[in-house]
Amino acid sequence: MAPVATVRPVVRQYKEAFAREAARHARAGGHAIVWEKGGRARLVMPLPKAGDPMDLHYWSLLDLGKSRWKKMPSGPYRGLATAMIPRDCHDIVRRRAQRDAVWPDPQRAITFDCLDCGACCRDNYVELDKDDIARFRHAGRADLLRAPYTRKKDGKFVLRLLRSKRCRHLEEDNRCAIYQLRPSSCSVFPVGSECCLHSREAEFELYDGDPPN
Ligand code: SF4
Ligand code: SF4
């Protein structure tokens, strides 16, 4: 797998009085965290592309445990997507803004080599969907649905990890041993998403920006 070049949104935080500046940042492709009355935090960002499971805006929401946003019909955020950020994620978004304080522009071009990384294939939770199950069976690999490769959780097939927390299919050189058959949730995982950045931080303390204080 060749290194992947992408452009990711840069996160900034604003007081509510600076909503227009926040909107300008989001219109230029960045993500704005706007602190509102009552300690509420709003994410303002470009509209996620409908039907694109690799959209980085959408993945920023997913990483906050959300999947829905609202297209604002009026006001300073008109035409942009917004979502309220759960309180238990306030520290996460503050940290994203602190990380990105070093980047001057609303977006950042970046290239990652997954073969030098493999962070998202460690200590993860990968559930198989109907298509994955059908693909394994069609390829004559029904064994992938049994131990030692998978376990059942709440009626779902879930990939098993080694004691080291590596995915059982992750080879020493960070290649996926079942790359052509890999689960859908692995194939849509986007390089440069907040989930990717989080995996790199959690596994290897690799920070795309300022490290934590
Ligand atoms: S964490 Fe990101 S860079 Fe690392 S292997 Fe996964 S997608 Fe690639
Ligand atoms: S199946 Fe492959 S791509 Fe998915 S987590 Fe395991 S090693 Fe990574």
Tens digits of residue pLDDT in 9-29: 999 999 999 999 999 999 999
pLDDT in the model for residue 53: 85
| pLDDT tens, residue by residue, 46-80 | 999 988 888 999 999 999 999 999 999 999 999 99
Atom of ligand 2 nearest to the CA of 118: 8
Pocket test for ligand 1, best of 4, 111, 114 (most atoms within 8 A of CB): 114
Q: Is the CB of 121 under 6 A from ligand 2?
A: yes
Q: Between the CA of residue 212 and those of 73, 88, 123, what are the distances in Å? A: 37, 18, 21
Question: How far is CA 151 from each of CA 143, 156, 165, 200, rounded to the nearest angstrom?
Answer: 12, 8, 15, 26
User: Probe ligand 1: pick from 167, 186, 196, max atoms within 8 Å of CB?
Assistant: 196
**11-15 and 31-36 strand pairing:** parallel
pLDDT for residue 168 is more than 90: yes
